Amino acid sequence: TTSVTPLSALSADDLAARLTTVRAAYDELKARGLKLDLTRGKPGADQLDLSNALLDLPSSYRDRSGADVRNYGGLDGLVEMREIFADLLAVDVASVVCGGNSSLTMMHQVLTALLLKGGPDSPRPWSQEPVVKFVCPVPGYDRHFTMLAELGIEMVSVPMHSDGPDVAAVRALVADPSVKGMWIVPTYANPTGAVCSAEVAAELMAMPTAAPDFRILWDNAYAVHHLTDEETKSADALGLAAASGHPNRPIMFASTSKITWAGAGVAALAASPENRAWYLERLGFAAIGPDKVNHLRHVELFGDADGVRAHMRKHRDLIAPKFAAVEDALSSRLTGLGIAEWTVPTGGYFVNLDVLDGTASRVVQLAKEAGIALTPAGSAFPHGNDPRDRNIRLAPTFPVLAEVEAAMAGVAVCVELAALEQLTA
């Protein structure tokens, strides 16, 4: 039964009574012996099935120009595939490179090249600077942060708002010349679902930075991953940057990992002419050409960008009910208690759940003991350190709907139990 009285307004006796009730509910939950997993943003098997035609493609081994895609060459990717990404990302086809299956790998290549060689406008390789720092909007994507930690780049956090990173906080940080770049997931951010507005994007592209080679790694992993029929457009990062005199500032990334197959899709990068040439020059020492057979089978699967958009509506129909189940479970059990806030994303792969300060780790532990795996508390922060220990990332796409429902009902009990434990301590 849901109370509309905030828990903080209950008397000590009422809190103690409620703790007994919720503990009993938790014990029942545990006795069910669940084995559920809400940890990673992976497509469900039904979503992967949408692209099974890829198993029989391509139907030929010649691209539009007649080149044999089975052979070496074509370092920047099949032009037909680049056209599709250019349309989806609203950039010029000349700015796009299509690569292997992982955009994360392209981000890593860009960072290692900046460290070892520097960019077109770097005074020296980043590794020769005494210290290199990156601005990290939080909560954010855990792999962005672990990549920086791996490469020895220090992280400085700024809050992520519903319209993008806190611009005033970013501006203050980039006055430091050791701050060389920042991450942003501009559309349906991981994990908050925030969409960076055109205004925020314009400020980020135009702001003065002490570092002449400041880079914004614009990871548009969820550009076309809408959960409603409102198909939000991403801000025009490359255009805004060029217009404000910083064409080399943004480097854009995307992939079909959550469009076709997460393990066998196509990744893309888009950037200014100078950045693109710089990237391809580095890449030329590491590869003779990408998997153009994979590019061609993707081109045949979709035909064009509208084919991708139609395909994404099928994904939406499969996963929107799972997001609705998360919302139902949280709102029916936690609304009004004053112990949790959560996002209702209109796209992307995650729900961001903020619980009572100091209880996120306990919620994750309680859930684990009840057989529900959640992403470790703090993982959306640099070094896994959420200063308020309140943030939990929920990923509902991979389990089947009934499992999402069961897991989320359990998570809501754990959120309340952890809060009651703390309030009665």
Closer by beta carbon to ligand PLP, 26 or else 253: 253
Query: Closest separation between CB of residue 102 and ligand PLP, Å?
Result: 3
Query: Closest separation between CB of residue 287 and ligand PLP, Å?
Result: 16
Closer by beta carbon to ligand PLP, 80 or else 219: 219
Contact partners, residue 122, CB within 8 Å, separation at least 6: 114, 212, 213
Choose, by CB under 6 A, the member of 47, 95, 103, 122 that binds ligand PLP.
103
Q: What is the DSSP secondary-structure string of 33-97? A: ---EE--S----HHHHHTTGGGGG--S-SB-TT--BTTSS--TT--HHHHHHHHHHHTS-GGGEE
Ramachandran assignment for 164, one of left (phi > 0), alpha (psi -120 to 50 degrees), beta (any other): left
Closer by beta carbon to ligand PLP, 257 or else 359: 257
The residue written with tokens 């942060």 in the block is: 145
Please list, residue by residue across 72-108, b when 16 or more beta carbons sit within 10 angstroms of its beta carbon and e when fewer do: eebbbbbbbbbbbbbbbbbbeeebbbbbbbbbbebbe
Choose, by CB under 6 A, the member of 126, 134, 141, 398 that binds ligand PLP.
141
Choose, by CB under 6 A, the member of 114, 158, 267, 355 that binds ligand PLP.
267
Choose, by CB under 6 A, the member of 257, 272, 359, 397 that binds ligand PLP.
257
Alpha helices in 101-222 (DSSP H): 103-116, 142-151, 167-173, 198-206
Query: Closest separation between CB of residue 219 and ligand PLP, Å?
Result: 5
Q: Which stretch binds ligand PLP (CB under 6 A): 96-104, 309-317, 372-380, 409-417?
A: 96-104
102 binds ligand PLP (CB under 6 A): yes
The residue written with tokens 């994979």 in the block is: 294
- Would you call the peptide bond into 191 cis, given omega within 30 degrees of 0 as the criterion? yes
* CA–CA distance, 120 with 73 (Å, rounded to integer): 25
Which two three-digit tokens encode residue 396?
Answer: 């509902």
Choose, by CB under 6 A, the member of 10, 18, 38, 41 that binds ligand PLP.
41
Nearest to 88, CA basis, from 339, 245, 268, 279: 268
Torsion of CA 88, 93, 99, 105, to 10 degrees: -70
291 binds ligand PLP (CB under 6 A): no
Query: Closest separation between CB of residue 419 and ligand PLP, Å?
Result: 29
Q: Which stretch binds ligand PLP (CB under 6 A): 46-54, 56-64, 97-105, 416-424?
A: 97-105
Q: Which residues in the 152-191 window bind ligand PLP by CB under 6 A?
A: 185, 190
200 binds ligand PLP (CB under 6 A): no
Overall size of the chain counted in residues: 425
255 binds ligand PLP (CB under 6 A): yes
Closer by beta carbon to ligand PLP, 196 or else 406: 196
104 binds ligand PLP (CB under 6 A): yes
221 binds ligand PLP (CB under 6 A): yes
Residues forming the site for ligand PLP (CB under 6 A): 41, 102-104, 141, 185, 190, 219, 221, 255, 257, 262, 267
